[in-house]
Amino acid sequence: TEFDLAVRGGTVVTAASKMTCDVGIKDGEIVALAKQLGPAARDIDAAGKLVLPGGIEGHCHIEQKSSSGLMTSDDFKSATISAAFGGNTTVIPFAAQHRGDSLRKTVEDYHACAAPKSVIDYAYHLIVSDPTPEVLGQELPALIKDGFTSFKVYMTYDALRLDDRQMLEVLSTARREGALVMVHAENHEMIRWLTEKLVDRNNVEPKYHAVSHSRLGESEATHRAIALAQLVDTPLLIVHVSSEEATSEIRKAQDQGLKIYGETCPQYLFLTVEDLDKQGMEGAKFCCSPPPRDVQAQEAVWRGLQNGTFQVFSSDHSPYSFDEKGKLSAGPNPPFPKIANGVPGIELRMPLLFSEGVRKGRIDIHKFVEVTSTNVARLYGLFPRKGTIAIGADADLAIWDPDLERTVRYADLHDLAGYTPYEGKKITGWPTTVVNRGRIVVSENTLQVEPGSGEFLARESSEFAAPLGQLAPETDPARNFGAQIL
Ligand code: DUC
Ligand code: ZN
Ligand code: ZN
Ligand code: ZN
């Protein structure tokens, strides 16, 4: 037979096109797109279904150990299975450096966890928390050359945060080496000050977590991160944007032609601070940073997706169980500063956006594909191997039943957080069959592959990470009396 697998008669959708045709797959790649392809060893009937590029989860925390020793509740097995059931074929979690640790060793540790357990393809962003001359001079450049072409930095959290000076060093290293920098932008001292005031007054219930992480703290840090990036002419992705204020900062920079990108997440479209104000400790289940805000913020974030301010939509899956191993590790009634930050969402990211976005007419199906897959591949150096349906691309497909209605129940999900923030929500449109490099990973509601069958992806430097070539007056030798700064 000509093909190993043929997906027949579906509506094949990419970020830019839609056609009813068959997809022919051989040796893990897409080799033919046409009507009525010849025989294949195996067929999937996709009539009446959508055939989309597999989702790429570009922001998730898997088997990540915090500096305090707390572990996320998913390992690479449960997280990648959960991702696959949610229509994903690739995940890009973080390899998080702890201060004093070597970056290379950090990556090797994550690799030892991921390789035997992943059911779909994977890569890692680095988290750089200790930008010593050794790390910036040798380790990071070497890792970027090895295909770790993106990394995240934090402007808050005592154990992770970089000061402005360190941000500049890191950004100029990224510029030189061709990596994309992702930033957690919140003003550290504003969080600390508000937290102290709240704790002094014994305002310690989960809802005060949202008060301590202000919109102004988010937009100030966003503005500052953009200014730092602009000074050294380096592109920057602001991750997990929650508010109208931060969204406008990103938009303003984009309107100036800067290569500033934005990411948002389901928690900013589908949750609000009211969820943190639930009975007893229930609100802890919704504590994440930045926090969910209000209905106006949700609308601003929707607009940002619609008008292209946000290039990518990620889950920021940071699962902590609602018990002493996770959210309640500091006791049964922890004050908000002691509640682990993060919500699970890797399996529902795409179904939520499909149901509330595509089905309800807020975004079209092409935009859906763009922000959940194509742009993720582009930003992180995986395109066009990943992120689209084209001849020569990996055969990564999610076949969706656009009319399937299901009510979210944690019991039906595959992660190990023990709860979902979206319990009881009605969702229309679910992936029913998921194919990764030609392997049927999920079908008939069943996992069809073994742990360890996912592949590590070394990534290229992305076009999105290339400097604009527009120097600030003070770093431009033509305007700074000839000083060579960059
Ligand atoms: N940042 C993340 O990216 N995820 C969870 C919590 C946080 O602060
Ligand atoms: Zn460590
Ligand atoms: Zn973050
Ligand atoms: Zn995150």
Ligand 3 centroid vs 407 CA: distance in angstroms?
29
pLDDT of residue 1: 85
Sign of CA dihedral 242, 245, 249, 254: positive
Phi, psi of 42 (to 5 degrees): -145, 140
| pLDDT classification of 111: cutoffs 50, 70, 90 | very high
User: Within 10 Å of residue 455's Cβ, how many Cβ atoms?
Assistant: 16
At 371-417, the pLDDT tens digits run 999 999 999 999 999 999 999 999 999 999 999 999 999 999 999 99
Ligand 4 centroid vs 355 CA: distance in angstroms?
23
Question: Residue 416: CA atoms inside 13 Å, Cβ hemisphere, count?
Answer: 16
| Percent helix, percent strand, percent coil in the chain, to nearest 5 | 35, 25, 45
Please say whether the beta carbons of 350 and 431 come within 8 A: yes
Q: Which letter does DSSP use for residue 113 in this model?
A: H
Ligand 3 centroid vs 163 CA: distance in angstroms?
16
Q: Which helix (H) or strand (E) holds 265?
A: none
pLDDT of residue 171: 98
Please say whether the beta carbons of 252 and 238 come within 8 A: no
Taking the CA atoms of residue 354, residue 120, residue 341 and residue 308 in that order, the dihedral angle to the nearest 10 degrees is: -40
Where would I find the beta strands (DSSP E) of 27-174?
29-34, 40-45, 50-53, 55-60, 88-96, 121-122, 125-127, 150-154
CA distance 167 to 228: 7
pLDDT of residue 16: 97
Q: Quick one: which atom of ligand 1 is closest to the CA of 288?
A: 6
Please say whether the beta carbons of 372 and 7 come within 8 A: no
Q: Is residue 69 predicted with pLDDT exceeding 90?
A: no
Mean pLDDT of 208-235: 98
Mean pLDDT of 405-431: 98
CA distance 227 to 229: 5
Pairing of strands 40-45, 3-13: parallel
Which residue is listed with tokens 């590590």? 456
Cα angle value 192/224/126 (rounded, 5°): 80
In this structure, the residue with its CA closest to atom 5 of ligand 1 is 342
Please say whether the beta carbons of 400 and 86 come within 8 A: no
| pLDDT classification of 68: cutoffs 50, 70, 90 | confident
The gap from C-alpha 169 to its chain's centroid, in whole angstroms, comes to 24
Q: Quick one: which atom of ligand 1 is closest to the CA of 152?
A: 3
Q: Quick one: which atom of ligand 1 is closest to the CA of 341?
A: 6
Q: Which of 199, 342, 207 is nearest to 267 (CA)?
A: 342
Angle between helices 295-306 and 244-255 (to 10 degrees): 20
In this structure, the residue with its CA closest to atom 1 of ligand 1 is 289
> Which of 60, 74, 267, 289 maximizes ligand 1 atoms within 8 Å of its Cβ, making it the mutation to test the pocket?
289
Q: Is residue 84 predicted with pLDDT exceeding 90?
A: yes
